Amino acid sequence: MKFGIVVNEGPYTHEASDTAYQFSKAALEKGHEVLRVFFYHDGVNNGTRLTTPPQDDRHITNRWSELAEQHGLDLVVCIAAAQRRGIVDPDEAKRQGKDANNIASGFRISGLGQLIEVGIQADRLMVFGD
């Protein structure tokens, strides 16, 4: 089965990101395909490389980055939601005149077209968070 995943909540304010990660990991281990994980609304906060949780806590951003590297996942952060929350990749930082970027490894910034596309291509679109 082909899954599209949407994460609408931040990494430490709601269980949505943890649950989406665990679902994606389990689906991949069972031989299913995760076409794309789309981070929307506060979910874009999963994509910042500046997250630094305490050592005894899980590092949700790193988990997503590692899963993407292991399985070639497409982790897409919504550009409009990211801009509102101060998350930029190198290209967007340059375009906006910022002196740095903060996008995490394995994540990329793109538009809502990526969400529409995965909704069409996937057998199931799973939404985590409000």
- Please pick, among 67, 78, 87, 115, the residue that the annotation labels catalytic: 78
Three-class SS of 13-29: CCCHHHHHHHHHHHHHH
Element (H, E) at 63: helix 60-71
50 is catalytic: no
By three-state DSSP, how is residue 5 classified? strand
Q: Which residues are catalytic?
A: 78
